[in-house]
Structure 1
Amino acid sequence: MKTAVKTLCSAAALLSLAQAPAQEPARTLTLDEAIAMTLTDNPAVKAAEYEERAAQQQRRASIGLRMPRINVTGAYAYMAKDIGVDFNDMKAPVQDIAGQVLGSGMVPPQYIPQIQQLIAPIMGADWFLKVQDRSLGFVGGQVTMPIWLGGKINAAGRAAKIQEQTAIEQGVQTRNALVSELVERYFGLALAMQVVEVRQQVVDGVRKHLDDAIALEQNGMIAHSERLYVEFKMAEAERELANSRLQVQTISSALQNTLNRNGEMLPVTSMFIVDRIEEMAYYQDMAATRNPLLNQVALKRDLAQQGVRVQRSEFMPQVVAMGGGSFYNYQVAGLVPRWAVGVGVNIKIFDGLNREYKYSAAKQTVRRVEELQNKADKDISVLVEQLYNQLQNYRNQMTSIDASLAFAEEYLRMKNAAFLEGLSSSSDLIDAELNLAGVRTERLQTAYNYDKLLARLLEAAGLSDEFAAYARRADARPIHFDKK
Structure 2
Amino acid sequence: MTHLHLRNALLQALAPLLLAATGGAAFAQASAPADEATAMSFDAARARMLDRSDKLAAARAAVEAKQLQSDGLKRLGGPVVSVSGLAYAYNANLNLDLDPLNQKLGQIGQALPPSIQSFIARVPIPQLPNSYTLNRHDTGSNASVSAVWPIYLGGATDAVRGFVSAQTREAEADAEQASHEVDTLLVQRYFGAQLAQRAAQLRAQAERTIAQHDAAAQKMLAAGVISRVERLQASAAYEEARRNARKAENDAALAAVALARTVRAEGRVAPQTPLFVISAPVEPLGWFIDSALNRHPGLEKVAAKKSQAEQLHEGEEALRRPQVIAFGTRQLKSGNADWVAGLGVRWTLYDSVDRDALSAASQKQVEQAERTGAQARSDISLLVERNWRALDNARRQYLEMQASVELAREVLKLRTSGLREGTSTTLDLIDAETNQAKVLTERAQAANEYVQALAQLLESAGLSDRFSDYIARADVKVN
When normalised by structure 1's length, the TM-score is 0.81
Residue number in structure 2 paired with 1:194 = 198
What SS does the aligned partner of 1:316 have? coil
- The 5-angstrom pairing of residues 321-340 of structure 1 reads 321-327=326-332, 338-340=338-340
**1:189 & 1:289 partners in 2: Cα distance?**
33
Structure 1's unaligned 5+ residue stretches are 1-6, 17-24, 104-125
Cα shift at 1:134:
6.8
Residue number in structure 2 paired with 1:402 = 402
Residue number in structure 1 paired with 2:19 = none
Residue number in structure 2 paired with 1:44 = 55
Structure 2's unaligned 5+ residue stretches are 1-27, 114-131
Aligned AA for 1:243?
Answer: K
Residue number in structure 1 paired with 2:32 = 11
Aligned AA for 2:286?
Answer: A
Residue number in structure 2 paired with 1:467 = 467
**2:183 & 2:475 partners in 1: Cα distance?**
19
**2:93 & 2:165 partners in 1: Cα distance?**
55
The answer on whether the counterparts of 1:283 and 1:461 sit within 8 Å (CA) in structure 2 is yes
The one of 275, 298, 317 equivalent to 2:322 is: 317
Q: Deviations over 1:204-224 (max 9, x none)?
A: 321332344344334433223
What SS does the aligned partner of 1:278 have? coil
The one of 297, 303, 309 equivalent to 2:308 is: 303
What SS does the aligned partner of 2:283 have? coil
Distance 1:350 1:136, change over 3 A: farther
**How many residues are matched?**
438
**1:410 & 1:73 partners in 2: Cα distance?**
96
The answer on whether the counterparts of 1:221 and 1:422 sit within 8 Å (CA) in structure 2 is no
What SS does the aligned partner of 1:11 have? coil
Identity of aligned pairs, percent? 30
Does residue 75 (structure 1) correspond to residue 97 (structure 2)? The answer is: no
Aligned AA for 2:31?
Answer: S
**1:72 & 1:35 partners in 2: Cα distance?**
55
**1:255 & 1:478 partners in 2: Cα distance?**
21
Distance 1:82 1:371, change over 3 A: farther
Q: Deviations over 1:311-337 (max 9, x none)?
A: 0001101111111122259xxxx99x6
**1:356 & 1:78 partners in 2: Cα distance?**
53
Aligned AA for 1:408?
Answer: A
Cα shift at 1:358:
2.0
What SS does the aligned partner of 2:75 have? helix
**1:355 & 1:134 partners in 2: Cα distance?**
53
Does residue 225 (structure 1) correspond to residue 224 (structure 2)? The answer is: no
The answer on whether the counterparts of 1:74 and 1:137 sit within 8 Å (CA) in structure 2 is yes
**1:134 & 1:434 partners in 2: Cα distance?**
106
Distance 1:12 1:59, change over 3 A: farther
- The 5-angstrom pairing of residues 64-213 of structure 1 reads 64-77=75-88, 81=92, 136-213=140-217
Distance 1:12 1:426, change over 3 A: closer
The answer on whether the counterparts of 2:206 and 2:437 sit within 8 Å (CA) in structure 1 is yes
What SS does the aligned partner of 1:344 have? strand
- The 5-angstrom pairing of residues 415-434 of structure 1 reads 415-434=415-434
What SS does the aligned partner of 1:429 have? helix
Does residue 57 (structure 1) correspond to residue 78 (structure 2)? The answer is: no
Cα shift at 1:9:
9.7
Aligned AA for 1:254?
Answer: A
**2:388 & 2:440 partners in 1: Cα distance?**
25
**1:417 & 1:214 partners in 2: Cα distance?**
21
**1:39 & 1:45 partners in 2: Cα distance?**
7
The answer on whether the counterparts of 1:272 and 1:477 sit within 8 Å (CA) in structure 2 is yes
**1:206 & 1:288 partners in 2: Cα distance?**
54
Does residue 477 (structure 1) correspond to residue 467 (structure 2)? The answer is: no
Distance 1:265 1:8, change over 3 A: farther
**1:461 & 1:467 partners in 2: Cα distance?**
12
Aligned AA for 1:479?
Answer: V
Does residue 273 (structure 1) correspond to residue 277 (structure 2)? The answer is: yes
List structure 1 segments (4+ residues) > 6 angstroms apart after TM superposition. Answer: none
Cα shift at 1:355:
2.5
**1:233 & 1:134 partners in 2: Cα distance?**
107
Cα shift at 1:426:
3.1
- The 5-angstrom pairing of residues 335-346 of structure 1 reads 338-346=338-346
The answer on whether the counterparts of 1:11 and 1:194 sit within 8 Å (CA) in structure 2 is no
Does residue 443 (structure 1) correspond to residue 448 (structure 2)? The answer is: no
The answer on whether the counterparts of 1:270 and 1:479 sit within 8 Å (CA) in structure 2 is yes
**1:347 & 1:134 partners in 2: Cα distance?**
44
When normalised by structure 2's length, the TM-score is 0.82
Residue number in structure 1 paired with 2:413 = 413
**1:359 & 1:260 partners in 2: Cα distance?**
51
The answer on whether the counterparts of 1:283 and 1:384 sit within 8 Å (CA) in structure 2 is yes
Greater CA drift, 60-69 or 43-52? 60-69
Residue number in structure 2 paired with 1:390 = 390
Cα shift at 1:228:
2.5
**2:158 & 2:453 partners in 1: Cα distance?**
44
The answer on whether the counterparts of 1:226 and 1:425 sit within 8 Å (CA) in structure 2 is no
Q: Deviations over 1:106-144 (max 9, x none)?
A: xxxxxxxxxxxxxxxxxxxx9x9x9xx775542222211
What SS does the aligned partner of 1:404 have? helix
The answer on whether the counterparts of 2:293 and 2:299 sit within 8 Å (CA) in structure 1 is yes
Cα shift at 1:161:
1.7
**1:38 & 1:9 partners in 2: Cα distance?**
30
Does residue 238 (structure 1) correspond to residue 270 (structure 2)? The answer is: no
**2:413 & 2:340 partners in 1: Cα distance?**
104
**2:29 & 2:295 partners in 1: Cα distance?**
37
User: How big is the alpha-carbon RMSD for the aligned residues of Structure 1 and Structure 2?
Assistant: 3.7
Greater CA drift, 360-369 or 251-260? 251-260
The answer on whether the counterparts of 2:60 and 2:175 sit within 8 Å (CA) in structure 1 is yes
Residue number in structure 2 paired with 1:116 = none
**1:230 & 1:420 partners in 2: Cα distance?**
18
Cα shift at 1:76:
4.1
The answer on whether the counterparts of 1:52 and 1:171 sit within 8 Å (CA) in structure 2 is yes
Does residue 454 (structure 1) correspond to residue 454 (structure 2)? The answer is: yes
The answer on whether the counterparts of 2:30 and 2:202 sit within 8 Å (CA) in structure 1 is no
Residue number in structure 2 paired with 1:255 = 259
Cα shift at 1:12:
4.9
